[in-house]
Amino acid sequence: MVNSFISFSQKKEIDSIPIVTEDYIFVKPGDTLTISLNGFSLLPKPKFSSKKDLRYYLWFKKKVFKAYPFAKLASQRLDSLNVRLEKITSKRKRKKYTRLIQDYLEGEFTAKIKKMTNTEGRILIKLIHRQTGKTAFQNIRTLRSGWNAFWYNSTANIFKLSLKSEYHPEIVNEDFLIENVLQNAFQLGELQAQEPKLNFDFIKIITARKAIINVDEYKLMLDKMRKKWNKKQRKKKKQ
């Protein structure tokens, strides 16, 4: 099944790194931790070693903002679908209702999802696990009749990724960055919060990490992509 879901096509990901315009802090070894109070939540501000790291973080933030609404909607639709299906006894009517949900999602979001970059697609698959409690693969297997076409056509075919990817902000750096972006966005009212179906304590996680943001993997990734792009451009000029 996995092999049938994964094929390889993606949008180039040479994005510009945004200019620093947000209120973040830069710290040196030995500095004290700054705490921001918002409502009744205490969340340490992200700590960056340089303005360059902050710019990469803001680039990553845009990716999370693009993927999160899709995962949030998927969770809402799955919850509604499951509640509704429990009340439908007819197999034919169950199939019809599931098809309506599928058609709505495909018609509303397929074109938008196809425009996602590889990073956005990877974040989306991880957020599906966060918001639904199941991986994209598990959702397909559980609700194959309705979600198979949606995820197969709209997501799995687009990204060179695994639909079995899970979300673990306590141990995976990228997942920690995603959760950090989300929690700060929820506090600032930039995104509408939706409770995850997974159990984790982000305050404990960010405290253990001392709120330090590590974006080295993205700096390396984008540098490689730029070099590859520049090489292609030089080759075109010679031709």
Q: Are 55 and 22 in contact (CB under 8 A)?
A: no
In sequence order, what are the residues at sequence separation of 6 or more whose Cβ sits closer than 8 angstroms to the Cβ of residue 100? none
Q: What percent of the chain has pLDDT over 70?
A: 72
Query: In this structure, how many other beta carbons lie within 10 angstroms of the beta carbon of residue 74?
Result: 22
- Structural domain total, the chain: 1
**pTM, two decimal places:** 0.76
Burial class (CB in 10 A: 0-12, 13-18, 19+), 124: buried
The tokens describing 48, both together, are 């960056």
Reference 210, options 46, 22, 30; nearest CA is 46
What is the residue range of 228's domain?
2-15+22-191+198-238
Reference 104, options 68, 154, 142; nearest CA is 154
- pLDDT tens for 2-58 read 333 333 334 456 555 555 545 555 555 555 555 554 444 567 888 999 999 999 999
Residues forming a β-bridge with 35: 44
